[in-house]
Amino acid sequence: MTVEPVFRNYDQQALDAQYNNRARFPNFTEQFDQWTRWSVATRRTLPCRLDIVYGDDALERLDVFPAEGARNPIYVFLHGGYWYSLDKSHYSYVAEGMRPHGIVTAVTNFGLAPRCDMDTIVEHNRRSLAWLWRHATSFGGDPDRIYVCGHSAGGHLGLMLLGTDWADIGADLPHDLVKGVCAIGGIFDMEPIRLSFLNEKLHLTAEQARRNSPLLQRYPVCAPLSLVVAVDESAEFHRQSEQMRDLWSSLGYPVELMIPSDFDHFTVVNELGDPRCALVLHQLAQMRLAFS
């Protein structure tokens, strides 16, 4: 019996396996618990403003971890969870990696599927960035130096922000509001997501998948892009980052693809709380390029 492919050369079972990170890396619950413990400690020890309201939805909230001084760069972290799970409270610890370098950290929440569709999730993220730009000086940030990092689904959202026409969000917003992005284990082609088991929760239509695929966006602003995909990620995750790199290169924009060898889809963000780790130092170098 011949099994028909549903995407590229993958039949349904094979495609689902490519995107089932929790099956591929069964240590995920330990990772979530570890991030939570680290983040509780961060919120207890670092100055912070929690659950700032940036929109009307109950999940349109963000946390800010100021640095010392004023007009500091702003590092915005977008959480993963395949657009339907996890929370900003898992990732407060990333502020530990940035504060010693004089960088403000903002960790955001946004609506989740299935209650919110993908268009709404992207719109929430645009509103959070607009809020951060407009209120940057209230927490010691520089609105002209905003850099975004996203993990997994957050990597997808980071690229959607980079492709945003900010004039559509607010006439006061600059066209280059986001100065650079680091996408860790990101998704940039939403069609295989639509065709996979994940769509049981996401309910993507073909048009929504096209509209929300970073690989199909226009990017009028030249901004540095860092793509990070762990060596043990699936072939599809590698393809996604490689094609995003190729698109960025074709535009003549600065791009780097990192393939760390000692981490998986979940553990790759573990060191973001270490101000001396390679991924933090790489992002700092990218920020210097983005802000120059």
Question: What whole-number distance in Å separates Cα of residue 273 and Cα of residue 5?
Answer: 41
pLDDT mean by block of 10 residues, the chain; 292 residues? 87 98 94 98 99 98 98 98 98 99 99 99 99 99 99 99 98 98 99 99 99 97 98 98 99 98 95 97 96 92
pTM tops 0.95: yes
CA distances from 20 to 83, 107, 263 (A): 14, 25, 17
Q: Report the share of the chain in percent with pLDDT over 90.
A: 98
Instruction: Residue 280: name the closest of 37, 39, 48, 75 by CA.
Output: 75
What is the residue extent of each domain of the chain? Answer: 12-291
pLDDT for 1: 57
Q: Which fold has domain 12-291?
A: Rossmann fold (3.40.50)
Question: pLDDT value at position 9?
Answer: 96
